[in-house]
Amino acid sequence: MIKNLGIRNFLLLLFLFSAILPFFVLGAPISMKVDESSLYIARTDGTIEVWNKSSGSLIKSFSNEIEAWSFETDGTKFYIGSEDAVLHVFDLATGARDKINLSLTSSAPIIFSLKLDKDSQLLYAGLSDGNIIVINTPDLSIAKIIGKHERPVAALMLDEVYLYSVSLEGVIKVWDRPALVLLKNITIQAYDEETARPTGNIRTAIIEDSKVYMAYTLEKIRIWDLTTDSLLKEVNAHPGGDVMAIVSDGEYIFSSSIGEARGVKRWTLEGELVKPVLNVGDYNPLKLAVDNNYLYVGTREGGILVYDKSNWNLTRKFGDFTWYARYEANKPTPYSKKRVNPMLPIFIAFAFFFVIAVIIEAYAHIRKKPGKLTWSVVRKFFASFVKVEDVLKILGITSIIILIVGIINPRLAFPYYVSNLKIIYYFDALVKRGSFLPIWFLLLPTLAYWMTKKSKKGVRYLASALALAIAVVVYLLAPKLV
């Protein structure tokens, strides 16, 4: 099929595919940790900040060009997991830097989650390929590779005896910590039994009092009893929004959501809502940290809000609340809220060569025609330049490329896809909020034009307009995941 396209249409294919790249979606929020005296923040660009949590003064800051996905610290060293399987290590006192590559194959999986065991000086890293790698922190050597999960390891948790790993396929693995031997698997149901709707991907999880509290991308929090391996409760924590963060102080659970559903909520360990709900105003609470007296809210805007847990009073604000706006303006990446095409230079190059190819071929075509250069001659040339069959081929090849990318990395091409998805939600996950969106609006009108190509011009145009209207109606009425 490709050999019949010709150089002009091959350029058009690359031109179209590079234009679709903005629909590949990624995202990585900031991370926060707190100890007795300091608050530690890691941002998506790899910047690390250490704040005095009492005075709100910045103690130290490390600037990096790392696309950070996970973060862990013991107060002296910082561990940042990047998207290319590299674990970066920073020494707080000296500023010295080190790193280790955790890639086990030719691919470079994302380091999705990190958990530090200070007593044994072991760092557990959960990867997007499902592996869990155990690292000796003194010399950054790999102690053991355990696993593996079928999908990315969303969270790692420790108690006095066990290591728990939670993955996006909906499985909790329980490991004996000294031997690092798998003891059991706990399968988490993927659907709400009453509505048969998917619960979404697990964003993160915490453990408290032999219970696992899991935060989902589709508004829910689920509580699992590790002693009975059963679901204790499921709550619609933040209707209409994703649960972005979940933390515990041993007495309560705190969760947050951004956007229209933004806010912070407090729950009992049994999953009962404790009112009032914390109103954060126009800020978006992206990450949470908690100590005995205060709740620290890391906003998407960049600053930190500190609330007294006893009365929800805002006691302090510190940090730069313009950070996110400046980051978007100055550091356009696939993680930005504005979807900037990461292949813009290549897109421009293809556009330039495509236009040059059109001009050269038009000149050669028109010179062969006897007589004067007329608008009719020019129009006939452009009418035959790209046939409708060529457009269908290009859309087909582009769709295959997107599908291959989606199979290799579903999070990249179809970030809202979840396993065991009911068929009625596939349009929402793959098209409406996936990378097939531009293909959908181009494919139906093109098919209609092709099917009526032997009809009059008015019929062809009417059929294409009707097909476009159908595409819009299906887009608007298709069932949504939430």
In a domain, 450, yes or no: yes
Instruction: Examine the domain organization and report whether 436 and 462 are in the same domain.
Output: yes
Asked if 16 and 117 sit in the same domain, the reply is: no
What pLDDT is recorded for position 26? 36
Share above pLDDT 70 across residues of the chain, in percent, rounded to a whole number: 73
> Does the predicted TM-score (pTM) go above 0.75?
no
pLDDT category at 25 given cuts 50, 70, 90 is very low
Among the residue ranges 4-8, 140-144, 178-182, 419-423, the one predicted with the least confidence is 4-8
pLDDT for the residue numbered 420: 53
Give tens-digit pLDDT for 90-139. Answer: 888 887 888 888 876 545 678 888 999 988 889 999 988 888 999 999 88
Q: Kindly state the average pLDDT of the residues 50-69.
A: 80
Residues 271 and 379 in one domain: no
Report yes or no on 171 lying in a domain.
yes
Assigned token pair, 39: 């608050």
Label residue 37 by pLDDT band (50, 70, 90).
confident
pLDDT for 146 = 85
221 Cβ contact list (under 8 Å, min separation 6): 213, 214, 215, 234, 235, 237, 243, 246, 253, 255, 267, 271
Using 50, 70 and 90 to split pLDDT, how confident is the model at 332?
very low
In a domain, 482, yes or no: no
Per-residue confidence at 414, pLDDT binned at 50, 70, 90?
Answer: confident
Residue 183 belongs to a domain:
yes
Mean pLDDT for 428-445 is: 81
Do residues 256 and 215 share a domain? yes
Is residue 405 domain-resident? Answer: yes
Instruction: Please check whether residue 335 lies inside any domain of the structure.
Output: no
Mean pLDDT rounded to a whole number for the chain: 77
Q: Which of 330, 351, 372 is the last residue of a domain?
A: 330
- For the chain, give the secondary structure using H, E and C: CHHHCHHHHHHHHHHHHHHHHHHCCCCCCCEEEECCCEEEEECCCCCEEEEECCCCCEEEEECCCCCEEEEEECCCEEEEEECCCEEEEEECCCCCEEEEECCCCCCCCCEEEEEEECCCCEEEEEECCCCEEEEECCCCEEEEEECCCCCCEEEEEECCCEEEEEECCCEEEEEECCCCEEEEEEECCCECCCCCCECCCEEEEEEECCEEEEEECCCEEEEEECCCCEEEEEEECCCCCCCCEEEECCCEEEEEECHHHCEEEEEECCCCEEEEEECCCCCCEEEEEECCCEEEEEECCCCEEEEECCCCCEEEEECCCCHHHHHHHHCCCCCCCCCCCCCHHHHHHHHHHHHHHHHHHHHHHHHHCCCCCCHHHHHHHHHCCCCHHHHHHHHHHHHHHHHHHHHHCHHHHCCCCCCCCCHHHHHHHHHHCCCCHHHHHHHHHHHHHHHCCCCCHHHHHHHHHHHHHHHHHHHHHCCCCC
Domain match, 7 and 55 both: no
* Domain stops at, among 282, 307, 330: 330
Q: Which of 287, 302, 330 is the last residue of a domain?
A: 330
Whether residue 402 is found in the same domain as residue 440: yes
Mark whether 312 and 360 lie in a shared domain.
Answer: no
More confident residue, 65 or 354: 65
Mean pLDDT of 289-296: 92
Task: State the pLDDT confidence band at 49, using cuts at 50, 70 and 90.
Answer: confident
Domain span at residue 291 reads 22-330
Say if residue 319's pLDDT is above 50: yes
Over 50: is that where the pLDDT of 196 sits? no
Q: Are residues 288 and 180 in the same domain?
A: yes
Same domain, 243 and 311: yes
Quote the tokens at residue 85: 């399987």
Q: Does 348 fall in a domain?
A: yes
pLDDT band at 270 (very low <50, low <70, confident <90, very high): very high
- Provide the CATH number for the domain around residue 117: 2.130.10.10
Number of domains, the chain? 2
Kindly tell me if the per-residue pLDDT of 57 is higher than 90: no
Q: What per-residue confidence (pLDDT) applies to 255?
A: 94
pLDDT digits (tens, 9 = 90+) for 144-178: 888 778 888 888 998 888 999 988 777 889 999 88
Q: Do residues 125 and 102 lie in contact, with contact meaning Cβ atoms separated by under 8 Å? A: yes
If you average pLDDT over residues 252-274, what whole number do you get?
91
Is residue 264 domain-shared with residue 386, that is, in the same domain? no
Quick one: 325 and 401 in the same domain? Answer: no
Picking from 6-10, 159-163, 223-227, which range would have the lowest pLDDT averaged per residue?
A: 6-10
pLDDT of residue 189: 58
Say if residue 371 is in the same domain as residue 411: yes
- Output the pLDDT for position 409: 65
Rounded average pLDDT over 434-449: 83
| Within-domain flag for 174 | yes
